[in-house]
Amino acid sequence: MNYFELFDLPVAFQVDAALLSGRYRELQRAVHPDNFADASERDRLMAVQKAAEINDAVQTLKDPVSRAQYMLKLAGIELQGETQTIRDTGFLMEQMMLRETLEEVEEAADAGAAAMDFAEDLSRRTRALMQQLESQLGEQQWPEAADSVRKLKFMKKLEEELAQLEDRLLA
């Protein structure tokens, strides 16, 4: 059973977060190990395994990039541990420029304001990629969607590096 079926949700990029959360709580209640305290060792182990599967599923479906990657996996495209790189030279040049800008943020006269400006730019670019990805998944353009997921992983890494920089600035 795939994760969408587990939560009785349609296979789609957009997920009703409240519905996902509610079904998660229902499923966790049903398989909570305390319910199996008097059960056989096998049944207790199965309950723990099912609870772990439910946790993995909800974490995957809550995160848009993970959800998209999972949808690609369902379509037969496995991105986990792949060695394929992005061939879009324009995007790669953009990434180099963004990395340079991120390095300049820390040295800016008003590093806090520069960090906020960079965060807004990054957020705008990420939203555009997310919209593109949603369209590609909806139209089952799997190779294009896979490229968009790869690009979003780059953006996520930049967001993490920005968060680390902001932590350093606040320290």
Q: Are residues 99 and 166 in the same domain?
A: yes
In a domain, 45, yes or no: yes
In a domain, 157, yes or no: yes
Q: What is the mean pLDDT of residues 55-65?
A: 97
In a domain, 68, yes or no: no
Q: Are residues 104 and 156 in the same domain?
A: yes
pLDDT of residue 83: 67
Q: What is the mean pLDDT of residues 134-147?
A: 96
- In the structure, what pLDDT confidence band is assigned to residue 82 with cuts at 50, 70 and 90? low
In a domain, 83, yes or no: no
Q: Are residues 51 and 95 in the same domain?
A: no
pLDDT of residue 44: 81
Q: Are residues 56 and 96 in the same domain?
A: no
Given a cut of 90, whether residue 117 has pLDDT beyond it is yes
Q: Are residues 54 and 116 in the same domain?
A: no
In a domain, 71, yes or no: no
Q: Are residues 42 and 96 in the same domain?
A: no
In a domain, 75, yes or no: no
Q: Are residues 43 and 95 in the same domain?
A: no
- Cα separation of 41 and 39, whole Å? 7
- Cα separation of 7 and 106, whole Å? 44
Q: Are residues 142 and 93 in the same domain?
A: yes
Given a cut of 70, whether residue 123 has pLDDT beyond it is yes
- Cα separation of 105 and 35, whole Å? 53
Domains in the chain: how many in total?
A: 2
Q: Which domain holds residue 32?
A: 3-62
pLDDT of residue 11: 95
Contact between residue 111 and residue 105 where contact means Cβ atoms under 8 Å apart: yes
In a domain, 34, yes or no: yes
Helix and strand tally (H, E) in the chain? 7, 0
- In the structure, what pLDDT confidence band is assigned to residue 85 with cuts at 50, 70 and 90? confident
CATH of the domain at 32: 1.10.287.110
Given a cut of 80, whether residue 80 has pLDDT beyond it is no
In a domain, 82, yes or no: no
pLDDT of residue 79: 87
Q: Are residues 116 and 163 in the same domain?
A: yes
Q: Are residues 40 and 101 in the same domain?
A: no
